[in-house]
Structure 1
Amino acid sequence: MTAIDVTGARTTEAADVITGARERIDALDDRIIGLIQERMAVSAVIQEARITSGGRRVNLSREMEILSHYSEALGKPGTSLAMTLLELCRGRI
């Protein structure tokens, strides 16, 4: 299978550009996944401290701040992304 077949490009030059860009995206995705895992660990520390002190696992006003931040930065899809991050970090409520 050629690079043209794999990328859907119609020229070798375009296939080379796409292949390089995909490698960059894969590297970015690996970094994003690592950052999400780090965020999950930090969130677990916060939840543990909150619960140990007698508080609730989730702070809804803080979650609203996060939703707003993502929405302002990324639009409506940002809200969905933030919801997914919050679910990953605290589980479903």
Structure 2
Amino acid sequence: RFEGETFGHAMIVRGSLERLTPVLMTALVAAFALVPLLLAADSPGKEILHPVAVVIFGGLISSTLLDTLLTPLAYAWLGEPATRKILSEASDETY
């Protein structure tokens, strides 16, 4: 966390936006590497590689969407109770 920042919607949005670029860049580079295999479905010798590329491409799309959409929702739903618990334990241990 940034100093003095409280847990809330603004922090979740900022953290999600900070992670969006690296996640998208990684997924896009991997997807671009699969384009030749996706387009060469009828080429000789690619009978096995094309279905594998389709599955990997679908996994990249689904995992990127899930990471982009569900991770912030999970933080919003589960993060505040966990933050309160950690802060209450930390305040009990201070002397």
Instruction: Give the TM-score category using the shorter length.
Output: 0.3 to 0.5
Compare relative contact order (CA 8 Å, sep 6+) and give the higher one, 1 or 2: 2
Structure whose alpha-carbon radius of gyration is higher: 2
Using structure 1 for the length normalisation, give the TM-score: 0.36
